[in-house]
Amino acid sequence: MSAALMMIIPLQSIAFAESTYDINIPSGSADKDSPFHWSSEKDGDTSGFIEIIVNDTVFWKNGDMATHTVTSGTPLNGPDGIFDSGKMNPGKFFVQKFTQVGEFPYYCTIHPWRTGLVSVVTGNSYLFNVGSDFGDGANVFDLEYKFNRLVNRASIDESTKSVSLELRGNTINDDNTLTLFLPSALISGISSVSIDGAMTEEFTQEFEDEITVLVIGEVPSDAKSVTITGTTIVPEFGTIATMILAVATISIIAVSARSRLGIIPRI
């Protein structure tokens, strides 16, 4: 494929893409022992993995001094014919729009140790295992959301009955609305929302089958956190379990003491 053609086709693809994600091929990545061979601008991932939504586009840029390819398939089985950049010289790029759900492995045919994976999902993104570091960790939730950045981490504060979300990465489009699908078992009775510690009135909420759909508008592109406060928060089951254990222990001690004293409870 000629360099001129490679420059025209990507620009046409970007014009109609819902979201575009950049993956850079860093300098020195032709070296097998390089510390990393890819650099995703979405979340800083260096493994070559990226999760996107149907109809999103991935934009690979060759920032190395060596020629590379972005070829669908695996080094073991070879190209699968889904997409292939051909030889990308230094400074060139390749764009692929993904219109189907699935997992699409890719690699460099010139340097086959350079592998990656595009995971295409339908709908929204997920933050998994929310609550795993709270209480005894027995109650966890997979938090569904839609946002033009990455929701990286969630922390729960029982004293303020709030959930705080850490935001990371660059914006991928101009829609700065954050939509959260919050299980009622995690938080309910939402009373306030703050962005980087400042209260905002730019939010609405609806209830659907034990889920609060919270829509927060006009989240600044450089915001670091969002905190949601409610009337109830997931109970700290570790504390409850400790209380139950304490009561059970006292009961056992009392029964043992009666047995030693020869006191037989009436039936």
Q: What is the CATH number of the domain that holds 29?
A: 2.60.40.420
Q: Which helix (H) or strand (E) holds 223?
A: none
* Same structural domain, 53 and 101: yes
Residues spanned by the domain of 33: 3-121
| Identity at 264, one-letter amino acid code | I
The CA-CA-CA angle for residues 22, 80, 91, to 5°, reads 35
pLDDT of residue 16: 34
* Same structural domain, 147 and 170: yes
* Same structural domain, 68 and 178: no
* Same structural domain, 90 and 133: no
| CB neighbour list of residue 195: distance below 8 Å, 6 or more residues apart | 216, 219, 220, 223, 225, 226, 227
Cα 240 from Cα 67, distance rounded (Å): 60
Number of domains in the chain: 2
* Same structural domain, 179 and 114: no
pLDDT of residue 208: 84
Which portions of the chain are predicted below pLDDT 50? 1-17, 236-249, 252, 254-255, 257, 259, 261, 264-265, 267
* Same structural domain, 68 and 172: no
